[in-house]
Amino acid sequence: NLVKKYCPKRSAKDEEPRFTSCIAFFNILNELNDYAGQREVVAEEMGHRVYGELMRYSHDLKTERKMHLQEGRKAQQYLDMCWKQMDNSKKKFERECREAEKAQQSYERLDNDTNATKADVEKAKQQLNLRTHMADENKNEYAAQLQNFNGEQHKHYYIVIPQIYKQLQEMDERRTIKLSECYKGFADSERKVIPIISKCLEGMILAAKSVDEHRDSQLVIDCFKSGFEPPGDFPFEDYSQNIYRTISDGTISTPKQEGMRIDSKTTVGKAKGKLWLFGKKPKPQSPPLTPTSLYTSSTPNGSQYPIFSIEPVHYCMSDIKTGKPRIPSFRSLKRGWSVKTGPALEDFSHLPPEQRRKKLQQRIDELNRELQKETDQKDALIKMRDVYEKNPQMGDPSSLQPKLAETMSNMDRLRMEIHKNEAWLSEVEGKVAARTDRRHSSDINHLVTQGRESPEGSYTDDANQEVRGPPQQHAHPNEFDDEFEDDDPLPAIGHCKAIYPFDGHNEGTLAMKEGEILYIIEEDKGDGWTRARRQNGEEGYVPTSYIDVTLEKNSKGS
């Protein structure tokens, strides 16, 4: 969640972060993401090997424990049943003995009675014998039941119950061993990810060490470098000339050219709302001058000093101040620092010279890339048209003419744009070179005798040198190089292997055998054909679907 929250969502137009602190932060985010992934691995291991295994084993233990307890209850119930049988036989034997005693007393009483008949005595004797016989049988049955109960009771307490307790003990020992294994599995899952986590932490340390404050400072300098020259020294204005000037000279004193100066209110009004980097802009001793208000002041020896404007430096410094003064988060750094330079113009003349040169160079590079795309598209259309002309059943060549005309028109437009931007770029580079030469000359002579300020803040000796045309090599490329450019073979950008054989009867095609290895010198432009070369130098087009292409990295355009 932390990585998703702080990792910026870049669009295709956003630039990559340039500051080393931002790059280090993104690297730390990536390492933190890997670290979080390892924590997820630990969580999955705990879920499967620890928690899940314990839950399954706990369910099995409950089932086994229930089975052992049920066996114990059955053994106890069987013992109780044996005791009841023995107790019943005992009670029955006791009852039969009492009946036999009663029958014996009755027989003895009748036998001693003289009034009793013989039949009654015989009957009482038979009853006695019957009861005695039944008492003997119950006695035997009771003895058998007692012996059986004693045996079962011994078996219950010395064999069955100890066996059940032993099984319960073994079950609990297995449970303890399983807990130990799970504890070990938990530690193993942590130990497995320690090397990767250590690498993540090392990557974070390396990312922290990669922060280079000097490089970041240089990026800021390159971003805000204006190219303006600091203001020149204020000249010495000799007010004592009128004292030494006599009336016989026949000259009329020329008042100060107040009208040539720019109203300070107007100058301040243009920079209203812009603050100096170190507070409010300091008021100069004299009103700041622009190229239109530049004038010179004479000294007694006739020398003239140009009065330079300090407005360009104020423009640069105030733009830095009016940029975003705070960086609320790392997301605001991913596109670099932006400078508010007012309304954008086509030639970027509203920017300082260095920034203007960078913008123009970026636009020229973009236009060149677009021109290259249009050129590739034109070549593909021409190639497709040739294929259609040779094989009319594949398509109508005239259907490609509107698209080809549109592509040619786009190429002409892009060339004009490139020419125009190169002219502006040459103008900026020419002024920068002129300013460098003038600065070198000023260092030698320690005095600038003549000068004029260009709109970008540079000074040249001639007003006609303000706008320079593009260098000759930009406007007219070397025709000698173009004439022999196609003599050199195209470099190989990869290789391919023929999957199917190809006859190559048509003109411009290259025959190949199945399994043959060829060099790739031009990719498929969308028409289904790839340009290839044999080792002997023979070139031609082969169907893209007939080959297995392998492009080499960093080889295109080398």
* The pair of three-digit structure tokens given for residue 473, joined into one six-digit string: 């090599």
Residue 351 confidence (pLDDT): 79
Whose CA is closest to 286, among 312, 258, 314?
A: 258
Residue 240 confidence (pLDDT): 81
φ/ψ bin of 134: left (φ > 0), alpha (ψ from -120 to 50), beta (otherwise): alpha
The CA R_g of the chain, rounded to the nearest whole Å, is: 55
Long-range contacts of 525-529 (CB under 8 A, 24+ apart): 525/376, 525/377, 525/379, 525/380, 525/383, 526/380, 527/380, 527/383, 527/384, 527/387, 529/383, 529/387
Which one has a higher pLDDT value, 286 or 39? 39
- pLDDT digit string, tens, across residues 390-427: 888 888 888 888 888 899 899 989 988 998 898 888 88
41-55, 164-178, 272-286: which range is least confident on average? 272-286
Overall pTM surpassing 0.75 (yes/no): no
Instruction: Indicate whether 211 pLDDT > 90.
Output: yes
Alpha helical stretches, state H, 160-212: 161-209
- pLDDT digit string, tens, across residues 499-528: 989 988 888 899 999 999 999 998 888 888
Strand partners, 530: 542
**pLDDT band, very low/low/confident/very high, at 168 (cuts 50, 70, 90):** very high
Please count the other Cβ atoms lying within 10 Å of the Cβ belonging to residue 489: 11
**pLDDT band, very low/low/confident/very high, at 314 (cuts 50, 70, 90):** very low
What is the rounded distance in angstroms from the CA atom of residue 379 to the CA atom of residue 381? 5
What is the rounded distance in angstroms from the CA atom of residue 150 to the CA atom of residue 96? 23
Residue 174 confidence (pLDDT): 93
The label of the residue with tokens 């596109």 reads 335
What is the rounded distance in angstroms from the CA atom of residue 11 to the CA atom of residue 347? 27
- pLDDT digit string, tens, across residues 82-107: 999 999 999 999 999 998 898 888 88
Residue 277 confidence (pLDDT): 57
Strand partners, 522: 531
What is the rounded distance in angstroms from the CA atom of residue 83 to the CA atom of residue 497? 94
Q: Mean per-residue pLDDT for 532-550?
A: 90
Beta strands (DSSP E) in 24-146 are none
Which one has a higher pLDDT value, 457 or 226? 226
